[in-house]
Amino acid sequence: MTDGIPEDWLRALQATGLALDADPTELALLASEFREVQLAPGELLVKQGDAGGSLFVIVEGTQRVTVREDDGDLVEVPSLGPGSLVGQVSLVLGGERTATVEAQTPTRALELDRPACIALVERHPHLMKPLTQTLREFMRRGRIVGMLKDIFGEFDAAGLSELEDSLEWVHLESGQVLFNKGDEADGAYIVVVGNVRVIAPTADGGERVLDDVGPAEWIGEMALLAGGPRTATVYALRDTELVYLARDAFTRLAVTDPEAMFYIARLLAARLQGMLEPRGQSVAKSRAFAIVPIGPTVDIAGFVAQFEAGLARHGSVRRLTADVVDAQFGTEGATNRGAGGLSHKAHDHPAQLLLGPWLTQQEDLHDHLIYQCDASWSGWSERAIRHASHIVLVADAREHEALGANERAVVEQFAGGRSPQVSLVLLQQRGRTTFPGTKRWLEGRAHVDQHYHVRRGERGDVERLVRHLTGRAISLVFGGGGSRGYAHVGVLRVFEELGIPVDAACGASIGAIVGGSLAIGLRSAELLRVLRPVFDNLIDPTLPLVSLAAGKNAVRGTAGVVGDLDIEDLLIPYFAISTNLTRSAEVVHRRGPLAFAARASGSLPGVFPPVPWTNGDLLVDGGVINNLPIDRMADLHGGAVVAVDVMPDVDLVVGEQLPMSLSGWEVARRLISPRQESLQVPNIISILMRSANAASHSIHRAQAFAARASLLLKPEVAHWNMLDFKAAPVIADQGYDGTKADIVRWWEQHRDGLLGRDPAN
């Protein structure tokens, strides 16, 4: 015996591999945390279905192991003897026992329950390392075996073992890069736990998100068939584990199991098909959210309760707090004593073996996880943001806009790499639809990807936030088209009658001002009343050296509708499209003065003077380059994009009597002469508007942007002249009548998927 520990205890522990590197003294110290259990033949060590929570090591005796399957059949698996482990998973995850273990001969076993394991972690963390490593490998294998069977199909034992031996485990911390675009590819990865993001550079120096990849999905599978440089950059959205399969290993596998090669071929074909046929509706894969109060005065518990209720409309939700975790593992008393419970241990502490897999299990059991961070920064808060794929910072808009201690800690956590997606929620006063001064909250917050206004007590605001964060936002895209754009108002009336919420809006040309008016809270009837004076007096003629109109009426009219608000002040996320005439580039206005964005987006070349911008550049109508920005909306706001296109494919058709040369004086003379037939020719402004939109419209069709829309509406308003602004009510009615049936059908099909179901019903 070693310090009173029986030798057969030590031999059994050594045989398990739980303490391979431990010297005799440390092995005895580990053994002292176990207690002995004795069983007579026929007695049960554990029973399938009973609550678990402890680990057993067989010291003496033989154990019969049976599993009762779902169909009632009893399956006997190989028996256990000295040195065998029972309940490894139960020690970590708890839950029900998955098998029955019965003593066939007199048996002695060592038991380590969860409280004793926690105590061992606290007193002798160095002894936990071999134990945690062994259990980690066991749990890894149990998780990956199921994935491999789902991916490649059934293997015999030898084939499965060979495949497992070919895999290399890779751990990424949140924000860490897996590989960069241009790196040489020689294998592929499977995500086992966590999420990674796939991004590619854009022409303007930014980045575009191509995909978010979760458990049981491949990354870089093309490398299994051919080498070459990686075509995108991939990084971890949260702490993530993957397995790596080298191309050479896959080639060997394909020789012995050709079905694996067929699987990869089908996978690549499906991936290519998805690239060629973009989906009209996308759903984000972020399922784990860390809710971080910027300061201790934020009512984080109240907000999280509303957020949880919103998520519950879209599936099962588990809210995790430090107290919940410590109660689960029986360490809440340590927190009360100031020692810090299990939830507050550092992410690299041996206790991670107990907590990490349990958190992973919660993700498996629930559609969404909420990690509610503490009011002040803590070990739990750090763990929460490392496990979340989306960080939500919550601030009270009545407070000072400076970064709080918790927010600074989040920024510091990802200072050396990329962060998960970060959103800022500003809790606002109820009863308002605009929130001036928001830009002061966004200045100095380059780490924030998107911000949202949520009014206290407004359930609809929280549900809109949930739709945005889960990729279910309902977005409206309004195209340009002069007076035909009043059809947009009719579409809005249909949305209002059906109770369809609008979560984001954008537009080009007249669509920009309609979308901006919607975003400041105007309803369809009010919008029609407000816009008519603007467009009825839009053209103020001037000496046509730069443009036909001076643009003063457009400036005054736009400012009269939207005031001096900034885009970031709006309740509903909004952007407008303009064209940088200097650089032939598209400009997306997501921040800054709303009146400027709307004015620039509607600055039709030749009709209105271009708008000066930064560096001496000139901006003109957004319809010149992207008259229906479905693509931009789909990139910025995942979910269902409803687009309203009022620009017909065929327009400005004239009779054959129109001569090759034409005098404006002749056109005017025929207009005023009762004895002569007037020439059926479009006016100069209509020609300029159609010409400006022609290139954009052609590109729109050629690139099939419409395929990215969940619903594309084309109201029949082509018979209206683009300058028939005084016909606003009639055009709006035709927009209503011409789209209602399509919207009703679409809403009946997609309502439940977008709004979810009320858990109370």
For the stretch 125-181, pLDDT in tens is 776 666 666 667 776 777 777 777 767 666 666 666 777 778 888 999 888 999 999
Whole-model pTM: value is 0.83
- pLDDT score of 702: 40
- Using CA atoms, how far apart are residues 489 and 705, in angstroms rounded to an integer? 23
User: Do residues 313 and 228 share a domain?
Assistant: no
pLDDT digits (tens, 9 = 90+) for 391-433: 999 999 999 999 989 999 999 988 877 888 899 999 999 989 9
The residue among 29 and 596 whose pLDDT is bigger is 596
User: Do residues 242 and 344 share a domain?
Assistant: no
* Angle at CA of residue 631, ends 630 and 634, nearest 5°: 85
- 389 tagged catalytic: no
Look at residue 239 and tell me whether its pLDDT is greater than 70. yes
**Choosing from 212, 621, 651, 724, which is the catalytic residue?**
621
Amino acid identity, position 473 = A
- pLDDT score of 426: 98
- Using CA atoms, how far apart are residues 296 and 514, in angstroms rounded to an integer? 40
Length of the chain: 761
Amino acid identity, position 192 = V
- pLDDT score of 476: 98
User: Do residues 323 and 451 share a domain?
Assistant: yes
Q: Pick the last residue of a domain from 231, 252, 276.
A: 276
User: Do residues 507 and 636 share a domain?
Assistant: yes
- pLDDT score of 156: 62
In this prediction, residues 651-668 reach a mean pLDDT of 46
Structural domain count of the chain: 4
pLDDT digits (tens, 9 = 90+) for 24-69: 787 888 888 889 999 999 999 999 989 888 889 999 999 999 988 8
Query: In terms of Cα–Cα distance, which of 80, 146, 87 is closest to 108?
Result: 80
- Structure token pair of residue 566: 């900034």
Average pLDDT over the chain reads 82
User: Do residues 635 and 535 share a domain?
Assistant: yes
User: Do residues 74 and 90 share a domain?
Assistant: yes
| 3-class DSSP state of 57 | strand
- Cβ neighbours of residue 81 closer than 8 Å, sequence gap 6 or more: 58, 61, 62, 63
Residue 172 inside a domain? The answer is: yes
Residue 199 inside a domain? The answer is: yes
CATH number at residue 161: 2.60.120.10
User: Do residues 454 and 515 share a domain?
Assistant: no
Residue 563 inside a domain? The answer is: yes
Residue 313 inside a domain? The answer is: yes
- 166 tagged catalytic: no
User: Do residues 179 and 88 share a domain?
Assistant: no
The residue among 93 and 743 whose pLDDT is bigger is 743
- pLDDT score of 310: 96
Residue 144 inside a domain? The answer is: no
Q: Pick the last residue of a domain from 435, 466, 497.
A: 466
Other beta carbons within 10 angstroms of residue 315's beta carbon come to: 14
pLDDT digits (tens, 9 = 90+) for 190-216: 898 888 999 888 777 778 888 888 888
pLDDT digits (tens, 9 = 90+) for 486-508: 999 999 999 999 999 999 999 99
- Cβ neighbours of residue 198 closer than 8 Å, sequence gap 6 or more: 209, 210, 211, 212, 213, 219, 232, 233, 234
pLDDT digits (tens, 9 = 90+) for 528-539: 888 878 777 777
Residue 115 inside a domain? The answer is: yes
Residue 662 inside a domain? The answer is: no
DSSP annotation of 726: G
Could you tell me the maximum CA-CA distance found in the chain, to the nearest angstrom?
125
User: 407: domain range?
Assistant: 290-466
Angstrom distances, CA of residue 24 to CA of 8, 9, 28, 117: 13, 12, 6, 20
CATH number at residue 318: 3.40.50.300
User: Do residues 271 and 295 share a domain?
Assistant: no
* Strand pairing report for 585-589 and 574-580: antiparallel
Look at residue 386 and tell me whether its pLDDT is greater than 60. yes
Residue 394 inside a domain? The answer is: yes
User: Do residues 80 and 214 share a domain?
Assistant: no
Q: In the structure, what pLDDT confidence band is assigned to residue 282 with cuts at 50, 70 and 90?
A: very low
- Using CA atoms, how far apart are residues 270 and 254, in angstroms rounded to an integer? 20
Q: Pick the last residue of a domain from 73, 105, 123.
A: 123
In this prediction, residues 107-124 reach a mean pLDDT of 83
User: Do residues 388 and 503 share a domain?
Assistant: no
Look at residue 120 and tell me whether its pLDDT is greater than 70. yes
- pLDDT score of 448: 95
Angstrom distances, CA of residue 722 to CA of 326, 479, 685, 695: 66, 13, 8, 17
Most confident stretch, 242-246, 247-251, 583-587, 741-745:
741-745
User: Do residues 727 and 692 share a domain?
Assistant: yes
pLDDT digits (tens, 9 = 90+) for 562-582: 888 999 999 999 999 998 888
Percent of the chain scoring above 70 in pLDDT:
79
pLDDT digits (tens, 9 = 90+) for 609-647: 888 898 888 898 888 888 899 989 998 998 999 999 998
| 3-class DSSP state of 110 | strand
**Choosing from 378, 381, 509, 524, which is the catalytic residue?**
509
- pLDDT score of 655: 47
CB-count burial class (<10 Å; 0-12, 13-18, 19+) for 752? exposed
